[in-house]
Structure 1
Amino acid sequence: MIEETGLIEQEEQDLYEHLRVVVDKGQSLLRIDKFLMHRIENASRNRIQNAIELGNVLVNEKAIKPSYKVKPQDVISIVLPHPPRDTEVYPENLPLDIVYEDDDVLIVNKAAGMVVHPGYNNYTGTLVNALVYHFQQLPTLPGNDGRPGLVHRIDKDTSGLLLISKNERAMTWLARQFFEHTIARKYIALVWGDLPEDGTVTGYIGRSIADRRVMSVYDDPEKGKWSVTHYKVLERMDYVTLIECQLETGRTHQIRAHMKHIGHPLFNDAMYGGDKIVKGTVFSKYKQFVENCFELLPRQALHAQSLGFLHPTLKKRLYFEAPLPPDFEAALEKWRKYGQRLETSD
């Protein structure tokens, strides 16, 4: 009996599968890799053995050796990366801002406006197209089929750090960390309004009934997945606030939906109501000032600033940061100067 007990969501939605297998009462003793090969679709023996060696396969909540033989009514839990979809991805020589690279992982500072992976209406010009081209210039590595392994995702108009695995072993190792929420990610966001203090937003995130493209926060667990975002105030600039967000969970549009939910949508986030004047004065000069800021930062003010994880081979935690991009910095500087003018006019 196999039941799918959950998917890691957010920008990394659908990248990993969490399966729970209850062994039948009449099952004879059989090596666990052979047993799972016949019960998990698209799972090679090598893929399963990698998962076992990395501790991603538990039997009765305990890690086991590859030689373990399943017994009747064992409860087996598995976290595996989904296999690549059977669609052609064409390599494209697109610029990449590579922050770090070794034989196992690649860290990219993604520019705002770049779609992460091919999909409807976006089959070219994506980060994955660029990564496929980049990987063609590298030696063939065991477990690497020449396609980059996305470990998580960020929205098209969000800038910042993305972690990519370069082989099956790294993918499986990182899958577990994402599943257990031990990969540390911090985002910088500019939100509308004056946030009074640091805080935490929680709730069940699911698709909006009114617009399926938008995520809403619900109190009902039947309507979504549990989500937690911690935020810290970094700087107040009268009608906007610069904050740092730390994700405890990873749901689609989590920060964007959470800040909208508490009445502080991200600055210039069109999908969540931040592309109009939410706080401020009625004066025409102020309206023009905000419009100028929108032109400088023509997207939601969200940047994936830092990323920390346990490396699959080095077995030590690595930490990376990416500075705010020029469009974000330009809008911030404009708001700071606006605030200074208000102070001198008081």
Structure 2
Amino acid sequence: MYNNGRKKYCCAYTNCPYKKTESLKATGHKNKETRNYKKPTCKYEGYTGDTYCKDCGTLLSSGKPTKKFDHDWNSGTVTKKATCKEEGSVTYTCENCGETETVSTKKTKHDYREEQHKNATCTENGYSISVCQVCNDKKKEEIVAKGHSKGIRNKTTATCKAEGYTGDTYCRTCKTLLEEGKILPKLEHQWNDGTVTKRATYETAGELTYRCRKCAAKRIISIEKLAYPKVGTSYTISGNEYKVSKPGAEVILVKTSKTTKNVTVPAQIYAQGITYKVTSIGAKAFNNNKNLTKVTIGTNIVEINSNAFFNCKNLKTVTIKSVYLTRKTANKKAFKNAHKKLVIRVPKKVKKIYKKIFKGLKVK
């Protein structure tokens, strides 16, 4: 209650006129109650109810509507069976209020069975024709061509000996030749580093043999003859020095040991695999050899240069085996200042000629 009240007081003594009044505060709406409440159902909305003061009957607040409950549908009854041509229906009943609702159901799938079939090939499409066993509806499905399944035949690998072939392209399915292959050129040989199978000499060419690492083929290359040592090339053999005068053929004796008493000038020498004829005794080859007493000159000597035996004061015997000396290639100046009793021994058939060559010396 929201209105203030009043309270009056009177004196308790008789005949006393005294009175007083007190103001009382309003008590407020303490006793409340709900009116017009309505429970919701699956058919109708409900209502929360209005709030009233129980003491004064004043409407304190209005209520609100509440939503209906959902129907409590049963599992439904098929009222029309669906087929592959028409939809069906199912009717549901609320178990609370008895209200019904009918819902349509989808058509069923066709019960197709294949009646005709043509397989697809590599290049042509195929097809399949099926008929529904319920409604006789027909459907045709195209089967897409598979395309060629490519494979290679007749492929050969190129080698160093023979050409190769990329191979022909065939379809593995229909065996059709799709593309011819190409010839592959022979491979180049892979030669090894080569082996000397015949050594070159001064007389003959050599051979260098290469072998292919893949096919064992061989290739032989000629190695040029060895070049003879040049003119002037020096050799020292048994203390004597020789120099090449004709490459690969002849040498000159140019120097001998000063301590040797008995010297033989050989017909030939062997040096670096070459046999040389000793054809000449150089100027001063025996120069000032005071220990020299005897010399034998080989059969291939064609020239004895002047002063070859210069100042060999103890040289007493010279044996010449060569028959090729002439006045142009030898004379007594070769033995200048040799021993006074020097004797030169020569082959009999050239004795007369050699006496003229070495005129003034004792020739036997």
Provide TM-score, normalisation by structure 1. Answer: 0.20
Greater Rg by CA: 2
Provide TM-score, normalisation by structure 2. Answer: 0.19
More helix as a share of residues: 1
**Structure having greater relative contact order (Cα 8 Å, sep ≥ 6):** 1
